Amino acid sequence: MFPTLPLGLTKEILGQLNLARFRRRGFFQNVMVVITSTGLAQLLTICFSPVLSRLYDPGEFGIYGTFLSVTGVLSAAVTLQYSEALMLPDKDKEAAGLFWAAGFSAVAITLLFSLPWVLFPSWWHALFNIQQLSGWLWLMPLAALVTGINQTLTAWCARRKAFKRAATVQVARSLTANAGQTAAGAAGAGAGGLIGGGLLGDLLAGVGLFFWVVREDGAALRAGANRQQILAAAREHKDFALYSTPQNLLNAASQGAPVILLIYYFGATIGGIYAFAIRVLQLPMNFILTSLRQVLFQKLSEVHNHGGDLGGLFAKTTATLLGISLVPAALAFVFAPQMFGLVFGSKWVLAGEYARWLLIWLVPGFCNLPAALAGRILRQQRNLLLFDLGLLMSRIAVLMLGGNYFTPLQTIVTFSLVGAAFNIFLILFIWRLLQLQRPAPSPRRPEDGSPGALTPP
């Protein structure tokens, strides 16, 4: 009986989405293009994961997780979130100004980030206290720059509805990264193989996107490449730099803090087990979220700009995400430890135990994508910043408390419960905001034209 409820809910929601209407407007085709490419990319990662889990041990995944956590924090700020604002302008000329503002910001901020690595290397080595990571610290600013450039190019492709262009690059990136990591692991490269393989995939993806964008839209971008227009576009969307950038930094820090603090309190092995559990759980989730994010942000922006029912689209997509996640999450909660041991090897059974409890946080996080995107479109950057500040402080407090008084598993469970509570709050907050902003129905009079009471609001 339990599995039939989400399936029935999903069927009803999909019927309400009126796929025929979306198909006429290109929404359905765009979603399918991105989902297909994301599916191929994720399938490649899934196929390589059992191999990588046997080539690398949990400690090496812990080092790689630390690298990704720090890089994620740096890359969250490099474009000043002007890449996110690319969807909003009605005219491509203004969007081109934002494109260049994001690109110049990425270069300038990366250079700024590089100074501490050059001037104070010993301080950074002492901060992370992981000897094997010391030789790779200098790659962190470069990885952040590549990520920022890729974000900007991908956002431009999404604005131009060039989803096939970005889709091909995404598949190539997954194949290159996983093949590189496998080859390096077979050669005994250790954590450096994971870091180098991932960066190689990102670099090749950026080069591919760059050449495609220049070839197809070079004229439009050159038309917007003047100082006055870039500054005007940056000023018009300065709330993204002032609020979204700190919010993105806080969000990235709250995502990366668990690996860093778990390693600090419990060692690289525990941090690596957590990092691997998150990696495996997010593969199927990212299959949908990465696909939906590009198309949904464009669609939400379009509906908002044309005065459409933004609240209705928000409710339908959120409910659909909930409907398709409940049954897989329930099955994973029951069987995750056995599945991890069978697929990835006996040394990863504990990662399956962590995974089952992390689902309490990840399912609401999976469903909050429409809330995060709608909040930005509604220019709720300040409130989103406060939300992520509270989330980060709560997570750090839980991890520090767990590090001093709890076992690693108790710390994971508490951490997951806090994350679930914050994600549910965000969904309800944005839903309530959209309800308050929804226009009231037009008053109607009786059909016979006789005077009568107006329809109550």
pLDDT tens for 382-399 read 888 889 889 999 999 999
Domain membership of residue 448 (yes or no) is no
Domain membership of residue 295 (yes or no) is yes
Domain membership of residue 394 (yes or no) is yes
Domain membership of residue 149 (yes or no) is yes
Phi-psi region of 451 (alpha: psi -120 to 50; beta: other; left: phi over 0): beta
Write phi, then psi, for 439 (nearest 5 degrees): -65, 145
Domain membership of residue 193 (yes or no) is yes
Positive or negative: CA dihedral 446, 16, 420, 310: negative
* Domain carrying residue 259: 4-437
Q: How far is residue 103's CA from residue 113's CA, in Å, rounded to a whole number?
A: 15
Number of domains in the chain: 1
Q: How far is residue 349's CA from residue 361's CA, in Å, rounded to a whole number?
A: 20
Report the alpha-carbon angle 415-419-425, nearest 5.
Answer: 150
Residue 431's pLDDT is what? 92
Residue 438's pLDDT is what? 64
Domain membership of residue 124 (yes or no) is yes
Tokens of 288: 């949908």
HSE-CB of 456 using CA atoms within 13 angstroms: 0
Residue bearing tokens 């025929």: 20
Residue 268's pLDDT is what? 87
C-beta of residue 181 within 8 angstroms of C-beta of residue 48: yes
Nearest CA to 431 out of 314, 316, 320, 322 is that of 314
Q: What is the pTM of this model?
A: 0.76
DSSP for 391-436 reads HHHHHHHHHHHHHHHS-HHHHHHHHHHHHHHHHHHHHHHHHHHHHH
Domain membership of residue 443 (yes or no) is no
Instruction: For the chain, list residues with pLDDT below 50.
Output: 1-25, 442-457
Residue 167's pLDDT is what? 80
Residue 348's pLDDT is what? 95
Domain membership of residue 196 (yes or no) is yes
